[in-house]
A and B are shown apart, each in its own frame.
Chain A
Amino acid sequence: MSFFGRLTWEAIPIHEPIPLITSLVVLLVLAAIAVWITRNHWWSYLWHEYITSPDHKKIGIMYITLGLVMLVRGFADAIMMRAQQSLAIGSSQGYLPPEHYNQIFSAHGTIMIFFVAMPLVIGFMNFVVPLQLGVRDVAFPTMNNVSFWLTASGALLVNLSLFLGEFARTGWLAFPPLSETQFSPGVGVDYYLVALQISGVGTLLTGVNFVTTILKIRAPGMSYLRMPVFCWTALASNLLIIAAFPVLTVTLGLLMLDRYLGFHFFTNDGGGNSMLYMNLIWVWGHPEVYILVLPAFGIYSEVASTFSGKPLFGYRSMVFATLAICIISFMVWLHHFFTMGAGADVNAVFGIASMIIAVPTGVKIFNWLFTMYGGRVRFNVPVYWLIGFMLTFTIGGLTGVLLAIPPVDFIVHNSLFLIAHFHQVIIGAVVFAIMAGYTYWFPKAFGFTLDERLGKAVFWCWFIGFHLAFMPLYVLGLWGATRRMQHIPDAAWAPWLDVAFVGAAIIGLGIFLTVVQLLYSIKTRDRRRDITGDPWDGRTLEWLTLSPPPHYNFAVLPDVHGEEAYWTRKQTAIKEEKLIAEPNYQPIEMPVNTPTGVIVAFFASVCGFAIIWYIWWLAILGLIGAFAIFVWYAWRDEHEHIIPLDEVIANARERRRVRHELLQELIKQP
C-alpha cells in the first residue's frame, strides 16, 4: 500500500463532465463566499458569534442553515433522477449512465434523511426547546457545539465524494451483500459508512443532551404537564435517538468490519447472514422516521394553537399519543421486509402493530382539527403549511396502512407506490413542518418577519409540485414500476413520468422562491421589524423575551403558572393592566466560547477521510489529534463568564419598556 493508500490522481473525475463541472462550480461558489466574508471582515464575527458559540440559538441557526443548503444538493439529485426517467424511455438511454444514476439515488436518500431532515429537525429543537422551557441553555452547551460540528463533518465527507472518488451505488441504506467488498470494491460505500458514523455520534450526543435538558432543566413551575407540546415531542424524539442510534452505529460498524477486515457478518460465504443487516438497520430505521416526524407534529401543534387563538385541543391526549407513537415505533420494523419470508404469523403481528400506529396519529389529526374548529384562525403562512400537511399527510398515512397489509405489500413492495408513500409522509409532514417552523420562528431568531406573499407562493409551489410529482408514482407503482430504474422499459409510462418531472420542477421553483423570499425580507427588514418579541400573539415562553433574544434568553427565569406559560402571564397583565413587579436582577453566568467542537470535527474529518482511502498513518494522527483536544479542553480553568449586572438590567428595562407599550395596545383592544 502506498503512502496515500488508495488515493491517486484517478480519484478526480476528469472524464465525467457532470461531477467535474459540479465540483468546479461548488468550489467557485465556496471561494466567492470566502472572498465576500473576507472583504466584509466577517470572519471574526462568524468565529465568535457562531462557529465557537455554545449558545443553543446560534447552534440551532447553524443546523438549519446546514439543512437548507443540503436541501439544495438533495434536490439537485432529485431533479436529475426525474429528468433521467423522463428521457431514458424505449431506445433512449438518457444522459446518466447506470453507475452514475445509482450514485445519485443513493446520495439523494442519504443526504435528504441524514443531512437535511435531521439537521433541520435538530436545529429547531436547539433553537426552541430551551426558550420554551424558560431556561438559558441546554444541559451541555459545549457538547451541543461538538454535536453540530460532527454532523457538519459527515456532510462534508458525503459531498467530498463528488470531488474525490465516488459515492455508494447501493441505495440509501447500503444493503449487503451488494454493499460488501465483493460487489462494491470502490470507496463509495466507505464514504457512506464513515460519514454516517461520524454524524451519528453527533446525533447521539444531541439525544443525551436534550433528554437531560428537558427532564432536568426547566423554569420554576414548568412541570411536565405544563410543557409545550413541541417540548414533549422533542423529548420523545430524543429518547428515540438514544435508543435507536447505537443500533445504527453497530450495524454500520459490522459492515465496516466485513469490508475492512474480511469478517463474515453479512457476506454470502462464511456463514454470514445478510437478512441480519435488514433487521438491524430497520430497528434503527423505523424509529428514525419518528425521530423526524414527532418534532414536526410538535411544530404543527404550536402553529395550530397560536394561529387559532385557542389552547391546543386535547393537550393530554396529544402527550399520550406522542409517547404511544414513541413506544410502538420500536415494534414495527419488520414491515420494511415482509417479503423476507418470516412467515404469516410474524408478518401478521408486525402488520397489525403498524396499523395500530395510525390510531395515535389519527388522534393528533383530530386534535389539530378541533383546535382550529371554533377558533379565530389567522391565515398566516404557517397555517397554510398546517392545512396542506393535514391533507397530504392523511392520504400518505392511508397508503401506509395499505402497505402495512402483508399481502398488499407483497404486490407493491419495492415499487414506485412505496416511493410515493414515504415521500408523501416525509415531505407532507416533515418538510412542510420545517417550512412552517421556519416562517413561525424566523422573527424570533432575527428580529423581523418573512414576506407573507412570497411565503404563500412557496407554499403553493410545494403543495402543487408535490402532488404532481408523486401522485403519478402511485399509479406507476400499481402498474408494476419498480424503484431505482435507470431506464424505463414501457413507453406507456412516459406521460406519467413527465407529469412527475413537471411537479419536481415546480418544487424547484418553490425552493428558488424561498431564497428570493429570504433576500427580499432582509432587504425590506426595516418595515417588518418585530419590536415586541411577540409577533404572532404567541402562547409559549419563547415569545416572552425579545427578538432576537439576548444570549442568556431571560434576565430572570420566568415563574410558570398554568398550562400556557406566556399566555397566562399575558392575560394576567391585561386584566391587571400592569406588568409584574420588577424582579431582583442578578449577574448571569454563561458558558464561555470554545473552538473544541470545530477542532474535534476537523480531526474527525481527517480521520474519516484517511479511513475511506486506507491512509492509516493519517487516521492514527487524526485520532491522536482528537484525543489531544479532548484533554486540552478537560484541562481548562475558565468555565463560565459573567454578564455584569448593569448589562442585565439595561437589557431587561428595555424589554419592560417595549412590553409596557405592547400591553397598552392590548388593553385598548376590545
Chain B
Amino acid sequence: MSDRPTPMIDDPDTGGFFQAARRNRLAAKFCRACGAPIHLPRPFCPSCRSRDLEWRDLSPNGRVYSWTVVEHQVHPAFPVPYTILLIELDDMPGVRLVGNIAGDAVLNIGDPVRATFDPAGNEVIFPQWTVLDRR
C-alpha cells in the first residue's frame, strides 16, 4: 500500500487547525470583531472584513451530516471499501469537517462521532473519527 497523502500543516490560513491537532484538540478560526466562525479558514473575516482573528478549541463531538461508502478504488493509498464522513460539530452547527473510517460502515445521518488523534510523536497529526454508540 502506498503512503497515505499527508496534509500540509503549515499553511498560513489553515496551519492553526494542525497545531491544535498536535495538542489533541479540534479548532476553528473565529473573528474577534464580530464573532463569526471562519470556516474554512481565511486571512480575513468574510462577514465584517476584520483581520483580527483567533483559533478557538472546540468540542471533539459531532454528528454524521452525510456519508458515502467508496467501493471503487481511485487512489492506491485508500483500499476499498472505506467510508467518508461529513461531520457537523456539536459546538458549532454549520461547521463541518470530513473524516473517514475503514470498511463498509452501517451509518445513519445524525449518528454521534468523536475526534481522536494519532499517537504523539507522529510528525503530522490530524483528527481521526470514531462512530459512537447510538443514543
- Asked whether A and B interact, the reply is no
| Residues of A participating in the B interface, judged by any CB pair closer than 8 Å | none
| Residues of B participating in the A interface, judged by any CB pair closer than 8 Å | none
